[in-house]
Amino acid sequence: GTQVTVEVHAKDTTPQLFKKFSFGKGTAWALKPGRVGQGATSFPLKIAPSLPETMTTHFFAAYPWDKSSLKSMPVDLQQFEKLDAYALKVNVKNSVEELVKALLKQARTDLEKVRAIWMWICHHIEYDVVGYHNKSQLSSKPIDVLQKGKSICEGYAGLFEQMCSIAGIQCMKLSGYSKGYGYKMGQTFTGDSDHAWNAVYLDGRWHLLDSTWGSGSVDDSFTEFTFRYNEFYFLTHPALFINNHFPDNSNWQLLKPTLTLKDFEKNMLHNSNFYMLGLLTAHPETAVIQTVNGKASVSVDCRSATLFTFKLKGTDEHGLMTLKKHGMKLDIYPQKTGSHKLQIFAKPSKASEDVYNCVLEYVVDCKSVDKAMRFPKDLHQPVGPSWFTERQGFLRPSHPDPIIHTNDGRCSVTFTLGKDISVLASLHSDNSSLTEDMRRRHIMQIHRGNQIELKIHLPHAGNFVLKIYAKKKSDPGNYDYIFNYLITCLNTEVKWPAFPQSYSKWLEDYEILEPLSGLLPANRNVQFKLKMHGIAKVLVQAENTYPLTQSRGYWEGTCNTSGCREVFVMVHENANHSFYSHVLKYEVETQ
């Protein structure tokens, strides 16, 4: 609020007024070097507004975030590589002035000066967990912070401010509330501020940064600090910074419109991983989600293909997560009422390590339970086909949704397969007495060119998981799990027998048209129709032997099931050979 008057005179003359500037409460100027009248001198000092309360709108970022950039000004990190490496190696501890002098040897622009100071602090000052618990032993004076090499946020921000001041950069130390260590979702903030950070004046506007959070993190018990550099908190876009920093003076949000403390409290906390992984938005935007009829839904949008998992109260049960090209959708069905912690994890699809980072946390408040949505324990997340399964060679799925509903207990799933892919499928259920081998016989693979059909006949009603595995045909190794579907059938009268058992000589492009059931009726004539190629003769072995005849690519004929328990289909691959190979086996109903 102070009024400052600056008079500008020509150099070495008796005062004769050329221009007069007033810096009052209502104006903000940055004086650039320039000629004012004859022989006028330039101004080495850039004068920045000390409080942004009077700035014109171009000083402010719009809220919510416009998804353009994580930074508040254009920053090319590759151009900083040399400077960053230099700043990390500087080792001066005797005085703040000497340290700044050494750092600025490689920095030309104001942005480079700020960057060098930022990098040095983030990699040389550790968080003082002991001092945090025992404030009497703590000094936040810049020289003490420098020489001890550790401090709390107050010391980081104070050292940053002084180093900028020595470098001729206008910098402010700000304080306020933060959603940092110990933050509980949905909590309210009262009393004194709990965190400190900085604002720097670059290119005619203010920018925010937090060197404490840029340097690393403390463990859950708040006893150990780990250096883990975090680029996110350098010149963070104000609409993202407000996510976990609420300044005492709301003008320092640098936002239009500013957020109220109530908004800040109820808004979803997106940690830095969320944005660094290229995620854009999450719905809902509030930290606490109420279930509706036992269900809660979360969705995330992102720039590029990203893999997700979740944990509800520590397990990935009671949910159905599907991957989308630009994000994911998750439906949660808690099986107990009350409050449940929900965590969402993500990793880039190209990441080599299998490490997922936590990107979101919610509290799911469940008022009622939907018992019908109890999923089999073998259901693996995410569910259903996606861009990921396409990459594994499963193209154009007949069922793009994760759940397949069947009323009569039968369904069929088709894909176009990529080259050289061999497929294995299995069926799982929590309440099935069948062996895994027997359950596998309730799935039949049919290959037609590069198309595969999985025909499924369920042994009983209920919820089933159809798991799909694949490997390269040329690869002698094991099959890798690719994805799964949830198959639901409510019709309690469903009771399909397994398909016939096939042997190794049954080739993948052979096909059974009839009988599909692996259990044949007793004392009946049964019609056979099989599609096979490269075969000289086909016999059906029951009590007697029945040859099948070839017609237009199909082998057809009838066999009688009287007096036998099993029926075999046998092939004669070569007319010159005398032996037959078993290809299929059927059971016969007991009388």
For residue 41, what pLDDT is reported? 32
- In terms of DSSP bridges, do strands 205-209 and 403-405 run parallel, antiparallel, or are they unpaired? unpaired
Q: Is residue 268 part of a domain?
A: no
Residues 101 and 245 grouped into a single domain: yes
CA-CA distances (angstroms) from residue 310 to 278, 292, 313, 565?
A: 18, 20, 10, 50
Token code pair at residue 256:
């239009």
* The one catalytic residue among 123, 124, 195, 428: 195
Residues 335 and 206 grouped into a single domain: no
- In terms of DSSP bridges, do strands 537-541 and 525-531 run parallel, antiparallel, or are they unpaired? unpaired
Indicate the DSSP class of residue 518: S
> How much is the average pLDDT of 362-380?
92
Q: pLDDT tens digits for 30-39? A: 443 433 333 3
Residues 243 and 131 grouped into a single domain: yes
Q: Is residue 37 part of a domain?
A: no
Residues 487 and 529 grouped into a single domain: no
181/126 Cα distance (integer angstroms): 15
Q: pLDDT tens digits for 381-428? A: 999 999 999 999 999 999 999 999 999 999 999 999 998 899 999 999
Q: Is residue 56 part of a domain?
A: no
Q: How far from the centroid of its chain's Cα atoms is residue 95's Cα?
A: 44
For residue 50, what pLDDT is reported? 55
Token code pair at residue 215:
């340097």
Does 195 participate in catalysis according to the annotation?
Answer: yes
Q: Is residue 70 part of a domain?
A: no
Q: pLDDT tens digits for 60-69? A: 888 888 888 8
Q: pLDDT tens digits for 532-551? A: 988 889 999 999 999 999 99
| End-of-domain residue from the set 498, 526, 551 | 498
Q: Is residue 24 part of a domain?
A: no
CATH number for the domain spanning 200: value is 3.10.620
| End-of-domain residue from the set 225, 258, 291 | 258
Residues 281 and 252 grouped into a single domain: no
Residues 158 and 84 grouped into a single domain: yes
pLDDT at position 467 over 60 = yes
CATH number for the domain spanning 310: value is 2.60.40.10
For residue 42, what pLDDT is reported? 33
478/359 Cα distance (integer angstroms): 33
Q: How far from the centroid of its chain's Cα atoms is residue 393's Cα?
A: 22
Residues 350 and 211 grouped into a single domain: no
Unique residue bearing structure tokens 């320092």: 252
With CA atoms as reference, report the closest residue to 24 among 44, 53, 57, 46.
53
Cα dihedral value 266, 270, 271, 272, nearest 10: -140
CA-CA distances (angstroms) from residue 116 to 45, 90, 167, 373?
A: 21, 10, 11, 55
For residue 21, what pLDDT is reported? 53
| End-of-domain residue from the set 207, 228, 258 | 258
* High-pLDDT (> 70) share of the chain, %: 90
Range of the domain at 422: 376-498
Residues 335 and 390 grouped into a single domain: no
The pTM is what? 0.78
Confidence of residue 334 (pLDDT cuts 50, 70, 90): very high
How many domains does the chain contain in total?
4
Q: Is residue 191 part of a domain?
A: yes
> How much is the average pLDDT of 222-240?
95
Q: What are phi and psi of 346, to 5 degrees?
A: -145, 155
Higher pLDDT, 3 or 483: 483
Residues 93 and 155 grouped into a single domain: yes
Q: Is residue 72 part of a domain?
A: no
Q: pLDDT tens digits for 142-152? A: 999 999 999 99
502/424 Cα distance (integer angstroms): 14
CA-CA distances (angstroms) from residue 406 to 456, 457, 486, 492, 518?
A: 10, 10, 11, 12, 21
324/245 Cα distance (integer angstroms): 31
* The one catalytic residue among 207, 210, 237, 457: 210
Q: Is residue 240 part of a domain?
A: yes
* The one catalytic residue among 122, 153, 164, 559: 153
Residues 249 and 190 grouped into a single domain: yes
- In terms of DSSP bridges, do strands 480-489 and 403-405 run parallel, antiparallel, or are they unpaired? parallel
> How much is the average pLDDT of 154-174?
97
Does 428 participate in catalysis according to the annotation?
Answer: no
For residue 9, what pLDDT is reported? 66
Q: How far from the centroid of its chain's Cα atoms is residue 521's Cα?
A: 53
> What secondary structure, in 3-state letters, does 392-424 show?
CCEECCCCCCCEEECCCCEEEEEEEECCCEEEE
> How much is the average pLDDT of 122-146?
92
Does 572 participate in catalysis according to the annotation?
Answer: no
Residues 398 and 342 grouped into a single domain: no
Angle at 295 between CA 367 and CA 373, to 5 degrees: 105
Residue 339, beta-bridge partner list: 365
For residue 470, what pLDDT is reported? 95
Residues 527 and 506 grouped into a single domain: yes
